[in-house]
Amino acid sequence: MSSPGTSPAVVGRFAPSPSGPLHIGSLVTAVGSYCLARRQGGRWLVRMEDLDTPRVVAGAAEEILHTLEALGFQWDGEVVRQSRRTAAYEEALEQLRSAGLVFDCACSRKEILASAPHVGEEGPVYPGTCRQGLAGGSQARAQRVRVPAGTLCFTDGVFGAVEQCLAGVVGDFVLRRADGLFAYQLAVVVDDGAAGVNQVVRGADLLSSTPRQIFLQAALGLPVPRYVHLPLALTAEGEKISKRHGPLPLAADGGDILWRVLRFLGQPVPPELRSACAAEVLAWGVGHFDAALIPPADRFLSGD
């Protein structure tokens, strides 16, 4: 327990999806989250976000963990797997339902697209068709949460002040999908809260999800972590690097790739460390990482 007047110990996490091997884009998040947590003497947790079972690749979780170990990462506690936490998500959903925030929705994607008032950052904005109850004869497909009017604001560690009107950008969003699976937005909030995570470091592609998660944290009575969104690593063609671009091109013991990632994140890692072992490069990152140097712009992750 922290003493009066002191800040609680940092608890960070890395939460990859086991839909394939670790790739450079995910490694950027791993390095940033690890160095920022360890630099402050904090804990670093690993969670496998395997809730979307149709996308899970057999053996991918173990391969990701093996790659992390080979690069010198050390996590605290047991690896959490979302697929084993459905009871916790069910409990949170019922808590929100009891508060009058959850309603059943019978709309299909096609129907939402046809009636949406406009397209937001992540697709058509839900028009509120089922907000006041299902139409006669229709059956519930998904469960949604009622979002408030007004603007939600927070301060990101890289991008600074961020604000979003949930009602105008996403509308009432899904908490449980038509296939019965819990949505990412609910699961991540419940998991971070249960683990005591108070520093979330992840890719900038999730920046627009953060207001939804802060809204759910407030509704569930959970504390809001500090958020730090990292720039996305791009291919030479300007595409976001993902699993379809293949696994990490590890050479020797991986020191070179960690050196490149730290440079990508704006850290002045010495040139001579490029040929050092992975453990030594990662140790430099833990000892020197400065979030103030992280550039906000997505860009090509150079091999130079």
Q: Mind telling me the catalytic residues?
A: 243
Give me Rg for the CA atoms of the chain.
20
**Within 10 Å of residue 83's Cβ, how many Cβ atoms?**
15
Q: Which of 61, 53, 59 is nearest to 15 (CA)?
A: 61
Place of tokens 């001579």: 272
Q: Which of 230, 165, 213 is nearest to 33 (CA)?
A: 230
- The DSSP symbol for 276 reads S
- Measured between alpha carbons, how far is 77 from 197 in angstroms, rounded to an integer? 13
Q: Which alpha helices (DSSP H) does the chain contain, by range?
A: 24-39, 60-70, 86-98, 109-115, 166-169, 184-195, 210-220, 255-264, 278-288
